[in-house]
Structure 1
Amino acid sequence: MKLPVKLLLFCLILILSLNILYSQPKWQRVASPTTKWLYKCSFTDSLNGWAAGDSGIIIHTSNAGADWVIQQTGIDYFIEDIFFLNTRLGWAISNDFLSYGPMILKTTNGGNNWNVTRYPDSNLVLITVNFLDSLNGYFGGSSGTILKTTNAGFNWIKCSLESSFFSYFPIRKFSFSNSQYGLACGGIIDINGLIWRTTDYGYNWAIMDTTLEPINDIMFYNDQIVLAAGGDYEYGGAFYKSTDGGINWADSIIGIFGSGHCIAPRSLQEMWISLGFSQLWMVSIDGGYSWLSYNTPDSSAIYDAVFIDSLRGWAFGTYGGIFKYNPEGEIGIKNIKIPESANLFQNYPNPFNPKTTIGYRILKSSKVKIILFDVLGREVKVLVDDYKLPGYYELEVISDELSSGVYFYKLVVDSDGEAGDYFATKKMVITK
């Protein structure tokens, strides 16, 4: 017996629809009001969230991400961090490296207006901000600086860190289980990463763990379980976990290319770590025992992410990238391999001043890009962006326009129309 034509068409459409749904990615790009780099985010509930980054940009949603609008800050410097306590009260921090030092931005009306003040220390670089309530808050920054306020920021006191070789390492993130007990993380690339602990309302901080590379993010999942992320672009992303409130730690260097900028657990089983300019996530679906590599949407560099609950998650990155978590999407795992299409060699000399040479080999005709990044993964300069025939090439880099410090250069090769089918990264050091 033959099926009616309409029924056959209905079945065909249903099958195609199911295939389309099944192939949806876990993270989907949504419309953004800016093309500027978004570096940090803060959400107070499922409706209200903010993201901030390059050139003083702050964007806000009040309708669960259906729309994002730009808020005027009055500054054009990079915003290092943003934190909202509730839908009205929030802070952000920036740094004027030319002369005046740190800037503190505060709003009492959800970001419709921002008041900008300067912290009176031009040698300090502020990196992170966290408030426990409307009066008590913390700033973390360079040279092992932790600042505490008990009066909403009118006055700040410098907290005491355990005296050691690590006393001057920068503070990158705070997390508190209550007003008395909290953790901080930080470190310096190629030297050490650190976790500090306070048990006296933030006045004194003791070292709890040291790691091989910096720790960039830390969070209390509950009173006992603490999660952290970090790593190095040479050795790969790293995951850290404590099950006793941050006293003892299990450290795992995963080896997936990139440095963990943030950790965003959807649950204790499913956790996401963004790897910055490597354009990858590290994702675990078994509580952190094993990790897989996951491509970011549109090969975007993602720097911060958050889950409001198990169904709602947000991520932010370069070129105004806003990405919404899709709980129905599939986890498309990237097969990590290095095709035989190119080679990137270590620059020589290294460290250098005033110039160095980068060598690279292209094995088949390809679109080639070499990008220079700073130690935080921010794009500094595109060194090469051209179509290359097979052969060996050398590139000279001059340090005149660059400050001293650690940089990374990344080779991306697009051959046979397959974007980014080869990439490799090396580290260079400028000394002045």
Structure 2
Amino acid sequence: MCSCKKYLQLALGALFVLLQGVPQAGAYVDVLDLPARASPLALSSPLLGVARAGLRLVTVGQRGHILYSDDSGKHWQQAAVPVSADLSAVNFPSARQGWAVGNDGVVLHSSDAGATWHKQLDGRQIGALLVEHYGALARAEPGNPQWPLLAIEGQRLVEQGADKPLLDVWFANDNLGYVVGVFNLILRTEDGGQTWTPFQDRTDNPQGFHLNAIASTGDGLYIAGEQGLLLKWDDTRQRFVAVPTPYQGSFFGVLGKPGEVLAYGLRGNVWRSTDGGLSWIPLDSGLHISITAGIVDASGRYRLFTQGGQMLLSQGSGADMRLVREPVPLPVAGAVQAVNGVLVVVGNRGVQALPEE
């Protein structure tokens, strides 16, 4: 049964069509084929991810908007983007090479520090990739029951269409990287995104939970997911193995330094490990609101941000997190520190550089 809110949205949508008039109606163009429009409002529209590309800052968000700044967030220019799908995350392993991901399984690549982008992959191709990859494995190993099941999953994705949101991206260098998303969707490339290999069989996620974030902590590569799912790359076994945690809520991110890992998520939860994820202790954030972004700053301190705009700052190690201020009245979806030390956050009201402390 539809909710009242949904009925209202449908009614407003119908009214919008009537106001536009039939003569103005145009042929439908998929957001994967429609370049992002240049807009003076892009800077204040919802933005979900931000990263450094050398000295430059790059942020991504709704309707394919990508913007970049060469003065630590004071001024921004809009990039040329070939899609208008919503973008959720961006990562630059080096100053010029970067990747962005988002809705409809889109993967974008830039080789000029985020000024221009081209599409490497989208959701119309991902299902076929799974069918081809796992179908070949099924023919090579007819006695292995998991390959036909994964090939069937790929066929299901083909039939569903392009709607396969990718939620995060991480690259170790200009060649090796991963993209992760909903329902255990994970792909790996070893050639800078020219080809992608499905990695569903390389993750300990039998229930198919969403993979919300992927990040390196200096001595480990982790994936954070829903319902307490935490995975860590095992180089010997060549797979992401499950890391048992005492928390059953969703994790939205992982960050850390050699010898220390923090995982954060719903309702102010922060968990700390100093033994490579073998054991975890809860940290008292003093908050009951979701923590949605985090960074390790230039001084080696952790900064965690919430959907309410609060910021937690570590005192010494990550064991002591304190609420230091409410920097901006907006939910924070991503944060980065510019080369001059300025903190820049993004969220549903755009981008803002925080005052220096």
- Counterpart in 2 of 1:147? 231
Following the alignment from structure 2 to structure 1, what is the Cα–Cα distance between the partners of residues 172 and 103?
22
CA apart distance, 1:145: 1.4
Pairwise CA RMSD: 2.6
Equivalence for 1:247: 319
Matched residue, 2:265 = 186
Contact 2:189–2:195, Cα closer than 8 Å, also in 1: yes
Q: Secondary structure at the match of 1:87?
A: coil
CA contact (8 A) 2:298 2:341 kept: no
2:350 corresponds to 1:280:
yes
Count of aligned positions: 244
Tell whether the 8 Å contact from 1:128 to 1:174 is kept in structure 2 after alignment.
yes
Match of 2:295 in 1: 219
For residues 253 and 280 of structure 1, the distance between their equivalents in structure 2, rounded to whole angstroms, comes to: 20
For residues 153-194 of structure 1, give each alpha carbon's deviation from its aligned partner in whole angstroms, at most 9, with x where no partner exists. 733332232x4xxx112111111211x32212111xxxx212
| TM-score (norm: length of structure 1) | 0.52
Q: 1:201 to 1:145 in 2, by over 3 A?
A: same
Q: Distance in 2 between matches of 1:255 and 1:112?
A: 40
Give the alignment partner of residue 124 of structure 1, picking from 201, 209, 221: 209
The aligned runs of 1:81-230 (5 Å cut-off) are: 81-95=168-182, 101-118=183-200, 119=203, 120-131=205-216, 136-151=220-235, 154-161=238-245, 163=246, 167-178=247-258, 180-187=259-266, 192-210=267-285, 211-222=287-298, 224-230=300-306
Contact 2:295 / 2:302 at 8 angstroms: preserved in 1?
yes
Identity %: 21
Q: Which has the larger radius of gyration?
A: 1
Secondary structure of the 2:185 match is strand
Change in 2 beyond 3 A, CA 1:37/1:153: farther
Contact kept, 8 Å, 1:224 with 1:246, in 2: the verdict is: no
Q: Within the alignment, does 1:238 sit opposite 2:320 as a pair?
A: no
**Structure 2 unmatched ranges of 5 or more:** 1-72, 127-161
CA deviation profile, 1:42-61 (whole Å, cap 9, x unmatched): 11111111110010111111
Q: Is the 8 A contact 1:94 1:104 kept in 2?
A: yes
Match runs of 1:297-336 below 5 Å: none
- Aligned counterparts of 1:258 and 1:63: Cα–Cα separation in 2: 31
**From 18, 25, 40, the counterpart of 2:89:** 40
Kindly tell me: are residues 153 and 239 of structure 1, through their superposed partners in 2, closer, same or farther at Cα, counting changes over 3 Å? farther
Q: Counterparts of 2:307 and 2:298 in 1: how far apart (Å)?
A: 23
CA 1:238–1:268 in structure 2 vs 1: closer, same or farther (change >3 Å)?
farther
Whose helix fraction is larger, Structure 1's or Structure 2's?
Answer: 2
Q: Which residue of 1 aligns with 2:43?
A: none
